[in-house]
Amino acid sequence: MKRMKRNLVLFASSLLLLLLWQMGAVILDSQILLPGVGPVLSALLSLTKEAPFTLNLFSTVLRAFESFIIIVLSATMLGIAAGRNSWFSLMLKPFVVVLKAVPVMSIILLAFIWFSSGTVPLFSAFLMGFPVMFVQIEQGVLHLDKNLDQMCDIYDFSPRMKIHHFIIPSLMPFFLTGARTALSMVWKVVIAAEVLTVPQYGVGSRMHLAQVQLETEKVLSWTLLTILLTALGDLLFDAIVLLSVRVKKAKDARRVPCVL
Amino acid sequence: MRFVEITKRYGDNVVFDHFSLEIPHQTILSVVGPSGEGKTTLLHMAAKLLEPDSGKVVKELSEEGPVSYLFQEPRLLEKSNVFSNVELALHKAYENKKERSEIALHYLDLVGLKESLSLYPAQLSGGMRQRVAIARSFAHPSNLMLLDEPFQSLDIRLRYDLISSFETLWKEAPKTTLFVTHDPKEALLLGDSVCCLGNPEKPKLLVKIDIPREARNISDATLLSYESQIVESLVND
């Protein structure tokens, strides 16, 4: 019941958003300033029928996925090392502070000077997402419960058991927060970099071309697509998390002997 | 186990100064004392988590090796269920999964948690969590048991229930035990002897309790007289 109510509220607020958009379009009465819902949806439909559509979409998804994986792996490893070694953390601090403070556009423009247009989105997304995830993992390691650590040592936990039953579960909330934030950042930066650097294929490149040709309905169609992609990415992420929680619980339940 | 001529200081604060104390094999020594008088330091030295500045901790051959430590708080793994929390402490000693399982079950049964094996710590009450910790400490194969005020955060009824659970388990497998507490009553109910700290050089009071553990009653006149001795020793310098 609660879930149904929640879905109903979500649906109603989405409908309100569409209504506001349509009202704006009617008031402005200009296809260039703000096309209505109908023309945008039909533009979206025709986009999906165009030949390089899948390639454009796939290129963007691949760039986002690649940078996300690189962020997760590198930030996890370096975050753990920094959490365990204060000297290493201090050494990385200037890099992290600079990366957190530099505007996205500066990174994209600089990367465009250094790399080819296809590599810029990947590189920029990595630089923007890395500090977010790194800081979370480092904090996670710093917040590991020293009392539990002592308990594991006293009760003779092997390093493998300690990692499996104490460290990973303790780091998981920090990991999930970092990964979720980095993922949403990656989508935005990849598309922004594609808009600025216009690689041969990519959602951002198509947006840029549509904007140059004043095809606002196409810009909005591609924007809608990116919103869908982000939502899909978040859903997939949540599904993986839920699945792993269920697998862990099922595994735990299998360990418990039947006493009846 | 014996603490022989141990000295331990934290900066200018001398907690122990050539202090000696003996816990006879397979008995419980209760240690009572105000905060900051070295109760936890004593436990940490017994567990080899801390080294004395001088002097030594001598253990009998049968007391060497792993220790069981019952902490103030249960210290359970939040993402592991009740059964796993006990069974994981047995991995090093028992390679056989079935054997581990049986031992964990046995102790969880003794503390009355056989029906709660699949529950996670977040689903347990404070008393149940501490019961899991007690089961874990007895299931863990050790000959030395260290208790750091494990009942202090519980309400009075639960506290005496758990003391009784502890007593049952201890009777089944007696281990040399050092029991640190603030509460003279707890100390008297469990200890074969009670020691009061407060003087860095020697125990302020060391009494042997002659009443059998199972016959001890909190309102017993002899126990009450022991209690008043302890309180007097703690209050007076």
Per-residue pLDDT reduced to its tens digit, B147-179: 998 888 778 888 888 888 888 889 888 989 999
User: Domain count of chain A?
Assistant: 1
pLDDT of residue B198: 83
Q: Any idea which of A179-183, A185-189, B65-69, B120-124 has the lowest mean pLDDT? A: B65-69
Yes or no, beta carbons of A169 and B77 under 8 Å apart: yes
A25-64 burial code (b ≥16 CB/10 A, e <16): beeeeeeeebbbeebbeebbeebeeeeeeeebbebbbebb
Average of per-residue pLDDT across A94-120: 90
Q: Distance between CA atoms of A227 and A17, rounded to whole angstroms?
A: 14
Contacts of residue A166 in chain B, CB cutoff 8 Å?
A: 77
In a domain, B133, yes or no: yes
pLDDT for res A76: 96
Is B232 inside a domain boundary? Answer: no
Give the DSSP per-residue string, A120-185.
HHHHHHHHHHHHHHHHHHHHHHHTS-HHHHHHHHHTT--HHHHIIIIIHHHHHHHHHHHHHHHHHH
Distance from CA of A173 to the nearest CA of B (A): 12
Which residue range is the domain that position A143 belongs to?
53-246
Please check whether residue B55 is in contact with residue B37, taking contact to mean a CB–CB distance below 8 angstroms.
no
- What's the whole-number mean pLDDT along residues A74-100? 95
Q: Tell me how far apart the alpha carbons of residues A123 and A144 are, in angstroms, rounded to a whole number.
A: 31
- Chain pair A-B, CB pairs under 8 angstroms: 70
Does residue A44 lie in a domain region?
no
pLDDT for position A149: 95
CB B146 within 8 A of CB B43: yes
Q: Which residues of A touch B47 (CB under 8 A)?
A: 154
Among candidates A147, A154, A165 on the partner chain, residue whose Cβ is nearest the Cβ of B47: A154
Q: Is the ipTM of this complex over 0.90?
A: no
- C-alpha angle with apex A36: A33 to A38, nearest 5 degrees? 145
Collect all residues of chain A within an 8 Å Cβ-Cβ radius of residue B136. 155
Q: Quick check: B76 pLDDT over 90?
A: yes
Report how far residue A54's alpha carbon sits from residue B209's, in angstroms, rounded to the nearest whole number: 84
Q: Tell me how close the Cα of A141 comes to any Cα of chain B, in angstroms.
A: 16
- Min Cα separation A161/chain B (Å): 8
Which tops the pLDDT comparison, B71 or B215?
B71
Q: B182 in helix, strand or coil?
A: coil
pLDDT attached to residue A260: 54
* Residue A2 located in a structural domain: no
pLDDT at B1 over 70: yes
Q: Which chain A residue's Cα is nearest to B113? A: A259
Over residues B173-188, the mean pLDDT reads 91
Length of chain A: 260
pLDDT band at A143 (very low <50, low <70, confident <90, very high): very high
Most trustworthy range by pLDDT among A9-13, A48-52, B165-169: A9-13
Given CA atoms B114, B118, B124, B130 in this order, what sign does their dihedral have?
positive
- Kindly list the residues of chain A whose beta carbon comes within 8 Å of any beta carbon in chain B: 147-148, 150-151, 154-158, 161, 165-166, 169, 172, 248, 252-253, 255-257, 259
For residue A145, the chain B residue with the least C-alpha distance is B75
Least Cα distance to B149 among B5, B33, B25 occurs for B33
Do the Cβ atoms of A156 and B92 come within 8 Å? yes
For chain B, which residues lie within 8 Å of any Cβ of chain A, measuring from their own Cβ? 47, 49, 66-69, 71, 73, 75, 77-81, 83-84, 87-89, 91-93, 101, 105, 114, 117-118, 136, 140
pLDDT for A239: 93
pLDDT of B66: 87
What band does A248 get if pLDDT is binned at 50, 70 and 90? confident
DSSP assignment letter at A214: T
Q: Is residue A13 part of a domain?
A: no
In a domain, B43, yes or no: no
B108-134 tens-digit pLDDT: 988 889 899 999 999 999 889 999 999
Query: Is A141 inside a domain boundary?
Result: yes
For the cut 90, the answer to whether the pLDDT of residue B99 exceeds it is yes
- Smallest Cβ distance to B83: which of A155, A161, A255? A255
* Other beta carbons less than 10 A from residue B192's beta carbon: 17
Range of the domain at B102: 66-142
Which of residues A257 and B8 earns the better pLDDT score?
Answer: B8
Q: Identify whether B109 is part of a domain.
A: yes
Task: With respect to residue A40, please indicate whether it lies within any of the assigned structural domains.
Answer: no
Q: Which domain CATH number covers A125? A: 1.10.3720.10
**Is the model's pLDDT at A259 over the cut of 70?**
no
Burial of B174 (0-12, 13-18, 19+ CB in 10 A): middle
Backbone angles phi, psi at B181, to 5 degrees: -155, 160
Query: Higher model confidence: residue A35 or residue B234?
Result: A35
Q: How many domains does chain B have?
A: 1
Res B51: pLDDT: 92
Looking at the DSSP assignment, which residues form a beta bridge with residue B69? B146
pLDDT of B237: 64
pLDDT at A1 over 70: no
What integer pLDDT is reported at residue B12 of this predicted model?
Answer: 87
Q: Is residue B154 part of a domain?
A: no
Mean pLDDT of A79-105: 93
Whether B136 is in a domain gets the answer yes
Question: What pLDDT digit, counting tens, does each position of A15-43 carry?
Answer: 999 999 999 999 998 888 999 889 999 98
Residue carrying structure tokens 């310098």? B237
What pTM did the predictor assign? 0.83
Q: Which one of B69, B101, B114 has the shortest CB-CB distance to A154?
A: B69
Residue A252 clears pLDDT 90, i.e. is over it? no
Residue B236, pLDDT above cutoff 80: no
pLDDT averaged over every residue in chain B? 89
- Pick the residue from chain B with its C-alpha nearest to A157: B89
Average pLDDT for chain A: 91
Rounded CA gap, A247 and A147, in Å? 28
Question: Looking at the domain assignment, is residue B4 inside a domain?
Answer: no
How many of the other CB atoms lie within 10 Å of CB of A201? 18
Q: What angle in degrees, to the nearest 10, is found between the helix axes of A203-212 and A168-197?
A: 30
The pLDDT of residue A51 is above 80: no
pLDDT confidence tier of residue B100, bands split at 50, 70 and 90: very high
- Three-state secondary structure call for residue A32: coil
pLDDT for res B210: 86
Does residue B138 lie within any of the structural domains? yes
Mean local confidence (pLDDT), B61-76: 89
B37-61, pLDDT tens digit by residue?
A: 888 899 999 988 899 999 999 988 8
Q: Which of A157-166, B69-78, B86-95, B145-154 has the lowest mean pLDDT?
A: B145-154
Interface test with B, best of A156, A176, A252 (most B CBs within 10 A): A156
- CA dist., res. A1 & res. A102, Å (int): 46
